[in-house]
Structure 1
């Protein structure tokens, strides 16, 4: 009987979503001559019995495989606005093809064209200091403002700051997940996830519906570095997932950058160690551009007189007391006690000045009655 046909790529996507089918199973099937556009698969599984998967998985594949699975998979992905980009598709990133085990399929929600854009990975601590947050925001913003894509992992902390900073300047960003592309993790990043789906791209190499588990995050980290020209690490403890991403970048021949931090900070030990080992020390975005000779950043536009006026007006309008308090509150948080000790104003008056500075958008209050410049 003549076998039924569908496209080769659609067959690959459908097989990729069968439980128990991993990278090696697909690799050995294809090496043995299996054609994903045919309904014939059992003979190849028999040929590779003991090398591909267990007898139980083999039986499961034989039960699932066929035209109905391929059709259902294609329709379900289309219905849920999930694009499947296979290693055979023209928009599959060339940079990933260089990996030892390039993903057979990438699942994308959002703009799949970003997969082949110039990108920088930004990763770091899940519980960063205020210094780390400011550094991540500034550098990610400056990178995105030059048209590069900021790639990160949607995690709490530095990842989230980097994604938001890119979106804040109408820049491009990719979130690479350690779960199915339709599974939001962490859950409190739901709004950020949806915004990235609308204005950027969310990417995963595991089938939709896959829940996050520890074994998937090293894979996710290797994909973050694989999609970029380099990795920037902003705050990392000595044992950190961010350092795994940096290791992946070095193995893949990507640039590794690190933001230095105070030697007294636990979260600076990982980044400072990276610098000792040869990572590029980054204090401004120009330090990053120096390593990419193929890219010349556009000069930063000078603000118009009207823009300059809008930027300086809130500060120029401060009274002497507000100006003293504002000057003392730098980028590191200041407690209420520290501010009171420095300015020596009556507490009731100081409260009033702090409220006025917040209303003018110049400072913001952090938990624990601490204040920082915006």
Structure 2
């Protein structure tokens, strides 16, 4: 059963030590965050994995694989708990017994999409759910670009796996680029619409990724976590 409610969701104010310092890179950092789960995870180095909701089976398998490989190397996987690539990335990390962070576009006492109720339960138990939206606030179209900026700011790097030419994943990558984050993209067939967003990023200077090591090589200057949850 999904258990977050107004009594056990923790609110973190911007002027407190628990507030993630990387969010202060934003021009409009949230005044406060609502969290449910292990607050210690906010101190770990994070890599975002994002992509299409209507992802292909190949894209889902790729997200799952990269999430597991990067989590094994000590990086925390962060995504938006959406259908498709987001969900596959979260499940990849959880499948190894690792933690993951989901940044949500609703209040944390609600789950969107509803079919991810079991995923939200697992993340709340093993990882961390984060939102800037007050409990009780349901999904609105404008919530998701705001959620994406938090994903971008928290992350050291952003990996895009399958994205249309106009997609929320490209918004996340663009925001990450503006914040100085590393941007990675996996190429695909020129015949597939979901390759076009990644190809656009590559044309704009994102690093072409063929294996997890391509990402790890770019992040060698970042410190690994001081502890590992099991």
TM-score computed with the length of structure 2 as normaliser: 0.93
- Which structure 2 residues correspond to residues 114-125 of structure 1 after superposition, within 5 A? 114-125=41-52
Match of 1:176 among 103, 107, 125: 103
Match of 2:213 among 274, 286, 304: 286
1:148–1:172 CA contact under 8 A, matched in 2: no
User: C-alpha displacement at 1:295, in angstroms?
Assistant: 4.2
Distance change >3 Å, CA 159–CA 79, structure 1 → 2: closer
Q: Distance in 2 between matches of 1:279 and 1:135?
A: 18
Name 1:252's counterpart in structure 2. Answer: 179
2:45–2:223 CA contact under 8 A, matched in 1: no
Name 2:88's counterpart in structure 1. Answer: 161
1:231–1:246 CA contact under 8 A, matched in 2: yes
C-alpha RMSD of matched pairs (Å): 1.5
Name 2:112's counterpart in structure 1. Answer: 185
Q: Distance in 2 between matches of 1:296 and 1:195?
A: 27
Partner SS state of residue 218, structure 2: coil
Deviations 1:316-346 (A, max 9, x none): xxxxxxxxxxxxxxxxxxxxxxxxxxxxxxx
- Which structure 2 residues correspond to residues 44-193 of structure 1 after superposition, within 5 A? 80-193=7-120
Q: Distance in 2 between matches of 1:268 and 1:122?
A: 15
TM-score computed with the length of structure 1 as normaliser: 0.58
Structure 2: segments with no counterpart, 5+ residues: 225-230
User: C-alpha displacement at 1:296, in angstroms?
Assistant: 8.0
For the pair 1:237 / 2:180, whether they are aligned, the reply is: no
Deviations 1:106-145 (A, max 9, x none): 0001111112210001000001112211111111110111
1:83–1:112 CA contact under 8 A, matched in 2: no
Match of 1:203 among 100, 105, 130: 130
- How many residues are paired up? 221
Q: Distance in 2 between matches of 1:273 and 1:133?
A: 20
Structure 1: segments with no counterpart, 5+ residues: 1-76, 298-374
Q: Distance in 2 between matches of 1:256 and 1:79?
A: 36
Deviations 1:154-194 (A, max 9, x none): 00000000000000111120000111111100000000001
Partner SS state of residue 179, structure 1: coil
2:36–2:124 CA contact under 8 A, matched in 1: yes
Q: Distance in 2 between matches of 1:146 and 1:172?
A: 13
Q: Distance in 2 between matches of 1:126 and 1:79?
A: 29
1:181–1:203 CA contact under 8 A, matched in 2: yes
Structure with the larger RCO, 1 or 2 (CA within 8 Å, 6+ apart): 2
User: C-alpha displacement at 1:272, in angstroms?
Assistant: 1.1
Name 2:139's counterpart in structure 1. Answer: 212
Displaced runs of 4 or more, over 6 A: none
* More helix per residue: 1
Partner SS state of residue 139, structure 2: coil
User: C-alpha displacement at 1:293, in angstroms?
Assistant: 2.6
Partner SS state of residue 290, structure 1: helix
